[in-house]
Amino acid sequence: MKLTTELENMILHFGEMGSRWGFNRTVGQMLALLVFSDEPLSADDIAASLSISRGNVSMALKELHSWRLIRTHREPGDRKDYFLANGTIWELSQQVLEERKKREVDPTLSMLRSQLMASEQDEMPQHARQQMQEIHDLLELFNHWFDDMQHMKPEHLQALMRLGSGVGKVLEMTDRLRPKTKKKAIGND
Amino acid sequence: MKLTTELENMILHFGEMGSRWGFNRTVGQMLALLVFSDEPLSADDIAASLSISRGNVSMALKELHSWRLIRTHREPGDRKDYFLANGTIWELSQQVLEERKKREVDPTLSMLRSQLMASEQDEMPQHARQQMQEIHDLLELFNHWFDDMQHMKPEHLQALMRLGSGVGKVLEMTDRLRPKTKKKAIGND
DNA sequence: CTAAACTTTCAGAAAATACTGAAACTTCAA
DNA sequence: TTGAAGTTTCAGTATTTTCTGAAAGTTTAG
């Protein structure tokens, strides 16, 4: 595993960004390494390439597995495990977003839910309660939307993103043609 | 600033989540406190409510300002600064997302851009280069889309989100009516 | 101008997080 | 069943991040 300087820089960058993306430096570097490598790598390869301890590699592999970002490949007649990125860039990104949603949104949503539930009888300042409700509703909206998006076919999702806010225009137009849509204010500009 | 147990729990929760959301515990707690408070609070109020040092409050206020999540209010005839959340829940969320994009996406995008540029003449393994290109394109697509969304009126954006993947159906239909869309290879399964 | 009221800074302490490496564990070919 | 090849665990250490509190800085009423 010899790395060109440029590749090395990129991998170091992914390491630095790692913590901002929800994992640690090692996990970030290893993800980059596996994404950029055109063949599966063994744990020893990885440790050598990145000059990190074998134990650290093992931990990071576990983490990457738990995020479903890598998978293991075994050659018959070779006891070693080989690891590779678990899909296309698009799929990996989806996976990262999915996992981050789980860690960054879901806990708060469930906390809010139970809090709003429990304080039905009320022991909380009006304004605070209202704000909690708004956060709750926003996160729930986001969650449903996100779920929906994840189930769209990649090419549709991509097309949709390319359309950007253009989608607003299209919907306005369509709205006039299809009175079936619920009359939630889809409004105008 | 007396806090009910429930509110206190919520604030502690926001503190815990803080680091996952891109800031630290104190910043998270203070944001929650100000969002739930129905009146502006002084730095001393905050320090007392959360039992943290005055210096820490000052740092966190700076951070919250830099995220544009709070603003300062001054009473005439009172030297104290009072702080409050800078907008509705919706606006605050937008602000958080905007700032996180800056920290989590933009640096990598610019790194990729310059790397792809520089290695035009090529010194990098084919596969690595290709993956870099894909990440670059994905982030750029995301960036444009995100920008576009941020400029939509909140009620439009909300309506759009409520529509969820339903938007796909509408667009498919519309697509037949509007052959203007560019015929970029939108891939296959 | 002065000093009281308030805010910010920052060096060092504390806490949280990540990493190493050796020991324990697992797997499997013979 | 054994032991070589490989993997995982985890106690201790290193690194990074956050927090405190006292000193320095700023503002403004008088």
Residue-wise pLDDT for B65-102, tens only, equals 999 999 999 888 888 999 999 999 999 999 999 999 99
Is the Cβ–Cβ distance between B84 and B40 less than 8 Å? yes
Q: What one-letter code names the amino acid at A138?
A: L
Instruction: For residues B40 and B29, give the distance between their C-alpha atoms in angstroms, rounded to a whole number.
Output: 15
Instruction: For residues B67 and B82, give the distance between their C-alpha atoms in angstroms, rounded to a whole number.
Output: 17
DSSP B20: G
Cα A23 to its chain centre, rounded Å, is: 11
Q: Which residues pair with A74 in a beta bridge?
A: A81
The backbone torsions φ and ψ at residue B70, rounded to the nearest 5 degrees and listed phi first, read: -135, 165
Contact A155 B119 (CB under 8 A): no
Contact B145 A128 (CB under 8 A): no
Could you tell me how many CB contacts below 8 A there are between chain A and chain B?
A: 184
Q: What digits encode the pLDDT tens for the residues A56-77?
A: 999 999 999 999 999 999 888 8
Cα A161 to its chain centre, rounded Å, is: 17
Query: What is the model's pLDDT at position A173?
Result: 65
What percent of chain A has pLDDT above 90?
71
Query: What is the model's pLDDT at position A178?
Result: 45
Q: What digits encode the pLDDT tens for the residues B158-189?
A: 999 998 878 777 766 665 544 444 444 433 33
Q: What one-letter code names the amino acid at B137?
A: D
Contact B127 A93 (CB under 8 A): no
Does B149 touch chain A if contact means CB atoms closer than 8 Å? Answer: yes
Which residues, 6+ apart, have CB-to-CB distance to B124 below 8 Å?
A4, A6, A7, B132
Nearest residue of B to residue A182, measured between CA atoms: B163
pTM above 0.85, yes or no: yes
Using C1' positions and the CA of B59, the closest nucleotide is C8
Query: What is the model's pLDDT at position A169?
Result: 73
Residue nearest to nucleotide D28 (CA to C1'): B79
Type and span of the H or E element at B72: strand B70-74
B 49-88 residues inside an 8 A Cβ radius of A: 88
Task: Report the DSSP pairing between strands B41-42 and A81-85.
Answer: unpaired
